[in-house]
Structure 1
């Protein structure tokens, strides 16, 4: 949708960040879009417009009331002309480089992770932005209509936000193993009147093409990917539409693949993270590497900005991740009890129960490794579950829905990271501000 600033219409390449403040994001590769230069230049010079820029090599800048020299090479940061600077251009020095996130308007370097399946809500994303951070809508397990509705809800609030998608990385299940596992877990479904033997094998891509089309036709400020690196053409198209692209990685080799594909930033996810591991090779459970060490290993291989993730639950955790080279931290489990979280009642109860269940990496629910609180299902079936994503996700889904309705925590995926005992029931903004209190 075209934006109007100062009675003039901006081209669609300008992505709203905060329309109430006339703040937009535009990819430098789009500056030759018809009409952009004329309209934007007038509004920038009048001080009515704030714009963040990204170029093909991941450089970023922002400003209000500044003109942008399109003659600058794309490989370098854009030249910023300060109107009150009377020096000759050759004598001027550009302001120091800011990170991509700060250029977007992020002032609190702790982000709300996408948590598919219910915990991530529009309210949680809006609350994260209200705390000066950035929240992600979880596009996984939604059809394109549901995702579009959530995007519209958050966009209407005028805040910065991101959208996360599961990039296709199928792990087809062996048909015989699927039938064996269905028979094995059938009694768990029967406990709530669900016939798991009637569930067929579903190998889908989570509406991938439809979601990419949505994000290209109605661009959002940030898009992140998990499970695999998309085709570089997808990343190029998103960036040309003005979107900052972030890729989840779990190893230095994955980081190299993401960098080569054109990602702007990386989420470096340690094995302590709750929910699914973002590993590109789900056939193997990721090695148990502490997050600071993993950040160091990735930093030695790529120069992209890094976002730390996995097991972060205290201010000390955040400080350590920053010292290890992260630009920002991303948290999920510590937000599960937040007022704005969509976590189910049995999930919340399990997190706050008197006994510490501990966590386990299991493929019992979905067929690919994910960290969850231990319960009856993980204890019985972790060692029996075959590989097979998304087939096992679809197999166990009706059982899990019935268990949630029955307030039964023993047959649902209680995704949680190792820092789950630090989750607190309070507003998300307060949680995020506490996490940055020692920076």
Structure 2
């Protein structure tokens, strides 16, 4: 096996980086300013485009390129089949949310998400250096389009079986998403998410030993020690989300930022309360409301919680806020993102042989 330094150097050379650190493309917290700062610090910026229109995808890419000539990724979720409708389950979720306020909206017949094909066309038009998927694979035809345009593809995986499927489908690198990670679990099958909670330092060597493509470690990495450990275990790079949330460029809601600083690992929980998909965030009244009441399936739960999430943001109310956070949240620092990127790599380099 090549050394940690060699793997990191090879990854950086292929992906156009100076340091092997990727900013997680968080759908709720990846403004242009953050991606630009991370890239200018030597890492890879990113945007979670799940809810973005084609025009918004194009504008984000244009804004990034106006501020940096570094690398960035655009992330989309692999689409699920249409949700199975269950009137009783939807009404139970609606009633639980009504107690928190405000009243959830009527669901109707949809559509509940932006046009995925139009988003894919916009991604191809934006021509980012890297695209990434979570929750599954791109269709083979789209992978062929990416390859033809010289766009690299990174795929999120929570098990070795998912990682092997990604490699076979043409992924250029695989993210090993440990159970410690904040935000949504990337399991290919939504119902399997609770059974696929593998800790990062068990998952990384399992994938690194079995795959021929680079492995990117994600989940609970907050400082140079975590980066060095992940690389030593076989990763070629790391992806950080929670570590960047308190950076000024992220412009996080103050209550969310303060909640991160105070959150012990046990203060984060896995919940389907906000979207219907399993995700890790800070425990609050909203997560507790769905401990006994099942959430509606994704994306119906996300639609139902839209007024609550919006009002919580306006009121700076952590008790109802979708406050994603990994288990290392309290280690996040309110530090400029470029400085943070450079500092973390310097710390890691000092520990690597």
Asked if Structure 1 and Structure 2 have the same fold, meaning a TM-score greater than 0.5 normalized by the shorter chain, the answer is yes
Match of 1:358 among 267, 271, 278: 267
* Corresponding residue number in structure 2 for 1:107: 18
Q: Which has the larger radius of gyration?
A: 1
1:143 corresponds, among 36, 41, 53, to 53
Deviation (angstroms), 1:402 = 0.8
The unaligned stretches of length 5 or more in structure 2 are 1-6
1:208-287 → structure 2 map (5 Å cutoff)? 208-284=116-192, 285-287=194-196
Name the counterpart of 1:335.
244
CA distance in 2, matches of 1:291, 1:232: 29
1:292-340 deviations in whole A, cap 9, x for unaligned? 2101212233211011001111211111100111010000001110011
What is the alpha-carbon distance in structure 2 between the residues aligned to residue 293 and residue 398 of structure 1? 39
> Is 1:178 aligned to 2:86, yes or no?
no
Secondary structure (helix, strand or coil) at the match of 2:326 reads coil
SS in 2 for 1:361: strand
Give the counterpart of 2:295 among 370, 383, 386. 386
Q: Is the 8 A contact 1:120 1:342 kept in 2?
A: no
Find the partner of 1:372 among 273, 281, 285.
281
Question: What secondary structure does 2:305 align onto?
Answer: helix
Please tell me whether the aligned partners of residues 120 and 341 of structure 1 are also in contact (alpha carbons under 8 angstroms). Answer: yes
Which SS does the other structure have where 2:147 is aligned?
Answer: helix
Larger relative contact order, structure 1 or 2 (CA cutoff 8 Å, min sep 6) = 2
Q: 1:356 to 1:301 in 2, by over 3 A?
A: closer
1:180-219 to structure 2, matched below 5 A, reads 180-189=92-101, 194-196=102-104, 198-200=106-108, 202=110, 204-219=112-127
For this pair of structures, how many residues does the alignment match?
A: 339
Residue in structure 1 matched with residue 42 of structure 2 by the alignment: 132
Q: Which has the higher helix share?
A: 2
SS at match of 1:371: strand
Contact 1:203 1:389 in 2 (8 A): no
The CA deviation at 1:432 is 1.7
Q: Is the 8 A contact 1:169 1:280 kept in 2?
A: no
- Secondary structure in 2 aligned to 1:438? helix
Q: Secondary structure at the match of 2:270?
A: strand
Q: Given that residues 200 and 395 in structure 1 are in contact (C-alpha distance below 8 angstroms), is that contact kept between their aligned partners in structure 2?
A: no
1:398 to 1:199, Cα distance in 2 relative to 1, 3 A: farther
Paired residues for 1:407-422 under 5 Å: 407-422=316-331
Please give the secondary structure, in 2, of the residue aligned with 1:366. Answer: coil
Cα 1:203–1:173 shift into 2, 3 Å: farther
SS of aligned partner of 2:14? helix
Which residue does 1:36 correspond to in 2? none
Instruction: Decide whether the 8 Å contact of 2:54 with 2:122 is kept in 1.
Output: yes
Q: TM-score, normalised by structure 2?
A: 0.90
Aligned-CA RMSD value: 2.1
